[in-house]
Amino acid sequence: MRRFPMLSLLLVLLCGPAQAQTQAHAQGFNSEAGAIDVIEIAHGLEHPWSLAFLPDGRMLVTERPGRLRIVTQAGAVSAPLSGVPTVYARGQGGLLDVVLAPDFAQSRRIYFCYGEPRGDTNGTTIAHARLGDSGISDVTAIFRQQPGMDSRHHFGCRLVFANDGTLYATLGERNKGRAQAQTLDNDLGKVIRIRADGTIPDDNPFVGRKGARPEIWSYGHRNAQGAVLHPVSGELWMHEHGPKGGDEINIARAGRNYGWPVITYGREYSGLAVGDGRSAAEGMEQPLHYWVPSIAPSGMAFYTGERFKAWRGNLFVGSLKFGQLARLELDGDTVVHDERLLDGIKRRIRDVRMGPDGYLYLLTDEADGRILRVGLAQGS
């Protein structure tokens, strides 16, 4: 492990560890709750996308080109695990989210989503597999987003197990299919809810409706790359990328329409209005919070630990665009304060997880991707 940024290494040599820590904080890693400590756990990961903690504290990490690795708390990175299926690793596609099954301790089962090549098209696919010491086995695809498209964009995808054991997945509208985010005969721009074996729960909102896919939970989404259960309500909180501005935080509720591309607080990348420029419409949900300009959000975690009481109940969101960590204070379902942490870190934050030790863990999306451990410094 090494303290971040690299300037600290020089300060250790010149001044000793205690002064190096002080200087690292002086470089801008401060917050309203005090100085922030950032420790690099590991590096050398190629565009890591998702992190899941194993029961023994090791981390299961996906790399977007199609590799799955195990990383120890000491920073040792395993060789790529065998058994990962072929992925469509172009544009925003690749090996994406990974989570443990609720019964992982007994089943050793993991769930992951990835861009799957499908001849002339591709799409987001969800699979489960059994994790072994050096690879995964019994890989089974349980869901394939329909339709497949010839697109390199907007795959989603975050996986979240609900308290009842069902599985939510966020699916992008693939950019070319943006209008289909408003129709129910496809999986583009949707949150879906399935059972752990891929079958459909009977109480999904569109079960039995003619012309609607029964796996759909909510619709009108653009490209959601962050999702987490609220620690009290158990509802699915998510965020999604807007175009130029208009990134949103929403609570994905059964059968609700979240508006894309009819309403948005963003604009086209050209600067023109999206559609007729509306930001509200009857029958479409308003976001809990939105960002203009866009922060390009990815990764999302509620802080529920005891280690840093000043952060309890806060929601943390990574920023790809600005290389920041957004700390959101909440009053019920209302965002009342947005503080930007790690300003100046200059690394694309792809995933945000709370570790079993009460620290936050971040993945940085780059050719030499890092795992960073973040917490309030001693005495803050």
Active site residues: 154
C-beta neighbour count of 161 within 10 angstroms = 16
Which residues, other chains included, contact 314 with Cβ-Cβ below 8 Å and sequence gap of 6+?
302, 303, 327, 328, 329, 330
Sign of torsion, CA 196 45 372 73? Answer: positive
Contacts (Cβ under 8 Å, ≥6 apart) of 198: 126, 142, 143
Residue 320, by phi and psi: left (phi above 0), alpha (psi -120 to 50) or beta? Answer: alpha
Nearest to 99 by CA among 66, 133, 126, 132: 126
Residue showing tokens 């565009």: 47
CA atoms within 13 A on the CB side of 122: 24
- Is-contact 227 248, C-beta < 8 A? no
Distance CA 218, CA 274 (A): 21
